[in-house]
């Protein structure tokens, strides 16, 4: 059975089992199969052999799941888009992905209520399954192409390692579907006949409602960024009493602080805590380690684990030579979970993807080393950074600032506190003279930038300069600007 058949299988054996809960909406496995089949038939009738992607724009609606499966059952990959994205960012992604159709939850409801009799051909192992957009350093988002084969390799590993109980798990979905962390909860849940419990953004904005929802979720498997768990830990009641069924916390996407893991183990003594690591380009996560007391006692900076079976993870020097244990270099991933590359960007693809003894390989740009058999993540080789688990290229924010008529020069740097990026700061040279105060200018730039970029990419602080300091060879002295914060 391939992954799609595995999901459909639950419609036969447990049609009334709940596949998804989002607010007051519920979707059963029977309905998921019937509706996604109907949507696939409509897409096939309308677009025939045209295999362009299907873009899906929504938030946590059950229709998102129907649309994802409907697209792949018609042989087309989907592009998940969250409504938190500003229109200009959505337009850029649509211009790059050139979808056959953009579906809203309402469209999905209409197109999935009846099915024309048209047999649809599903995506095969080497076909794109989804295309996920991430920040690109020139201001253009990059579309990472993930095949069915990549996804199957990842999910099969998760199922073997975590031994999820079929029909017996509730997965917490905290990440938007446009962020690849959500792929972990979504497909581990659907392939095991479990329930996906979505936490929508209005819940995250209201702590009282959030804790109530968590308490009512019946979650057995927590999937989030460490930042999300840290936020929850602020509330003392966030403990076993609130989540009595919880069996495991799965973290990925950014550094898991030892203190966060320790506090979770104290508050949830019967649950396991896992640290997982990997980029979108290698399908969600490639390494994992269970963080127990012995690991906490031994390491102050936690390991990110061992590679999934069937995939090689190694560390190379600048010449691309594999380094022995304990030496720091760039982390490379080679195996069936590595993406085909960036949609429509052969230049970017060739720069970081390559063939490694017949296997697809990806240079992550992450620095790290092996020690005691574990991989340790030790920062980036470039300026890419993470804020609350979101991947950001400062160059993306700079390019969007420079696109504003009032901005002549822009440099964006992270504000670092206790060794971690806390927010972004933008240094700006304006195009002309102005009478406006710094406060007014900041408000205006933030407002204009918010039309182009998601909220998590907006600089918190703006610093205005007449000119930028230069280095000896005439480049903008970024280090000096950052030091001046
Ligand atoms: P994304 O493509 O958004 O999943 O971001 C991938 C990047 O997040 C990786 O290349 C790392 O820089 C960082 N990352 C992912 N997982 C971890 C982890 N467990 N610890 C530290 N950094 C991580």
pLDDT digits (tens, 9 = 90+) for 237-254: 999 999 999 999 999 999
Ligand 1 centroid to residue 278 C-alpha, Å: 5
pLDDT tens readout for residues 278-288: 999 999 999 99
**Mean pLDDT across the chain, nearest whole number?**
96
> Which of 254, 260, 290, 291 to mutate to test ligand 1, by most ligand atoms within 8 A of the CB atom?
254
pLDDT, mean of residues 348-377: 98
Q: In the chain, what is the greatest distance between 2 CA atoms, to the nearest angstrom?
A: 70
pLDDT at 117 over 90: no
Domain extents for the chain?
Answer: 3-371, 393-483
Confidence (pTM): 0.96
Smallest Cα–Cα separation from 74: which of 116, 15, 113, 104? 116
In this predicted structure, the answer to whether residue 116 has a pLDDT above a threshold of 90 is: no
Model confidence pLDDT, tens digit, residues 376-421: 999 999 999 999 999 999 999 999 999 999 999 999 999 998 888 9
Task: Determine the pLDDT at residue 329.
Answer: 98
What is the pLDDT at residue 115?
82
Measured CA to CA, the distance from residue 186 to residue 66 in angstroms comes to 12
- Among candidate residues 65, 79, 58, 81, the one with its CA nearest the CA of residue 130: 79
User: How far, in Å, is the centroid of ligand 1 from the Cα of 401?
Assistant: 25
Residue nearest to atom 5 of ligand 1 (CA): 279
Q: Quick one: average pLDDT of 155-183?
A: 97
Q: What pLDDT score does 435 carry? A: 86
User: Residues near ligand 1 with C-beta < 6 Å?
Assistant: 134, 180, 252-256, 275-277, 279-280, 304, 364, 366, 377, 380, 386, 391
Which residue is closest in CA terms to ligand 1's atom 10?
279
Taking only the tens place, the pLDDT of each residue in 221-233 is 999 999 999 999 9
Distance 367 CA to ligand 1 centre (A): 11
**362-156-256 Cα angle (round to 5):** 60
Angle, vertex CA 353, rays to CA 347 and CA 274, nearest 5: 130
Backbone angles phi, psi at 460, to 5 degrees: -80, -35
Ligand 1: nearest atom to the Cα of 251: 19
Ligand 1, atom 9, lies closest to the CA of 279
**Residues 352-361, mean pLDDT to the nearest whole number:** 97
For residue 280, the ligand 1 atom closest to its alpha carbon is: 2
Q: Is 51 left (phi over 0), alpha (psi -120 to 50) or beta?
A: alpha
Distance CA 342, CA 143 (A): 5
**Cα 430 to ligand 1 centroid, rounded to whole Å:** 34
**Architecture of the domain defined by 393-483:** 2-Layer Sandwich (3.30)
Determine the distance separating the centroid of ligand 1 and the alpha carbon of 277, expressed in angstroms: 6
Hey, which of 142, 278, 290, 332 would you mutate to test ligand 1's pocket, going by the most ligand atoms within 8 Å of its Cβ? 278
Identify the pLDDT of residue 473. Answer: 87
Tell me if the domain spanning 3-371 has CATH number 3.40.50.12780. Answer: yes
Q: Higher pLDDT residue, 119 or 212?
A: 212
In the reported structure, the alpha carbon of residue 391 is separated from the centroid of ligand 1 by a whole-number distance in angstroms of 8
């Amino acid at each position: 059975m391939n992954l799609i058949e595995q999901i459909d299988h639950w419609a036969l054996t447990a049609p009334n089992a709940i596949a998804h809960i989002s607010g007051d909406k519920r979707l059963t496995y029977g309905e998921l199969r019937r509706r996604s089949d109907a949507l696939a038939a409509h897409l096939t009738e309308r677009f025939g052999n045209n295999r362009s992607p299907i873009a899906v724009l929504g938030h946590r609606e059950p229709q998102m799941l129907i649309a994802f499966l409907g697209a792949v059952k018609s042989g087309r990959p989907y592009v998940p888009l969250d409504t938190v994205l500003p229109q200009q960012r959505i337009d850029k992604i649509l211009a790059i992905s050139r979808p056959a159709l953009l579906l809203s939850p309402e469209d999905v409801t209409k197109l999935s209520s009846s099915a024309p009799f048209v047999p649809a051909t599903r995506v095969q192992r080497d076909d794109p399954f989804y295309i996920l957009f991430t920040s690109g350093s020139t201001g253009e988002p990059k579309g990472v192409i993930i095949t069915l084969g990549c996804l199957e390799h990842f999910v099969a590993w998760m199922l073997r390692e975590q031994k999820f109980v079929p029909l017996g798990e509730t997965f917490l979905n905290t990440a938007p579907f446009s962020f690849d962390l959500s792929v972990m909860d979504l497909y581990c849940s659907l392939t095991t006949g479990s329930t996906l419990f979505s936490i929508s953004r209005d819940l995250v904005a209201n702590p009282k409602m959030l804790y109530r929802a968590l308490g009512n979720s019946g979650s057995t498997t927590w999937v989030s960024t460490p930042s999300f768990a840290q936020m929850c830990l602020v509330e003392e009641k966030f403990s076993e009493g609130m989540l009595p069924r919880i069996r495991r916390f799965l973290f990925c996407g950014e550094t898991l602080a030892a203190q966060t893991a320790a506090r979770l183990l104290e508050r949830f003594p019967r649950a396991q805590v896992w640290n997982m690591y990997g980029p979108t380009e290698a399908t969600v996560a490639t390494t994992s380690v269970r963080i127990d007391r012995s690991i906490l006692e031994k390491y102050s900076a936690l390991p990110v684990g061992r590679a999934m079976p069937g995939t090689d993870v190694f560390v190379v020097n600048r010449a691309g030579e594999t380094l022995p244990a304990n030496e720091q270099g760039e982390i490379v991933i080679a195996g069936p979970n590595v993406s085909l590359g960036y949609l429509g960007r052969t230049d970017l693809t060739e720069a970081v993807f390559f063939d490694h003894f017949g296997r697809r390989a990806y240079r992550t740009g992450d620095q790290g080393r092996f020690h005691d058999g574990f991989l340790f993540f030790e920062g980036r080789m470039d300026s890419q950074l993470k804020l609350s688990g979101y991947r950001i290229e400062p160059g993306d924010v700079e390019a969007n600032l420079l696109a504003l008529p009032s901005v002549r020069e822009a440099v964006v740097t992270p504000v670092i506190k206790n060794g971690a990026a806390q927010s972004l700061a933008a240094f700006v040279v304006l195009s002309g003279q102005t009478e406006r105060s710094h406060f007014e200018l900041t408000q205006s730039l933030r407002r204009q930038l918010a039309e182009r970029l998601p909220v998590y990419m907006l600089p918190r602080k703006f610093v205005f300069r007449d000119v930028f300091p230069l280095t000896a060879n005439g480049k903008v002295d970024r280090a000096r600007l950052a030091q001046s914060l």
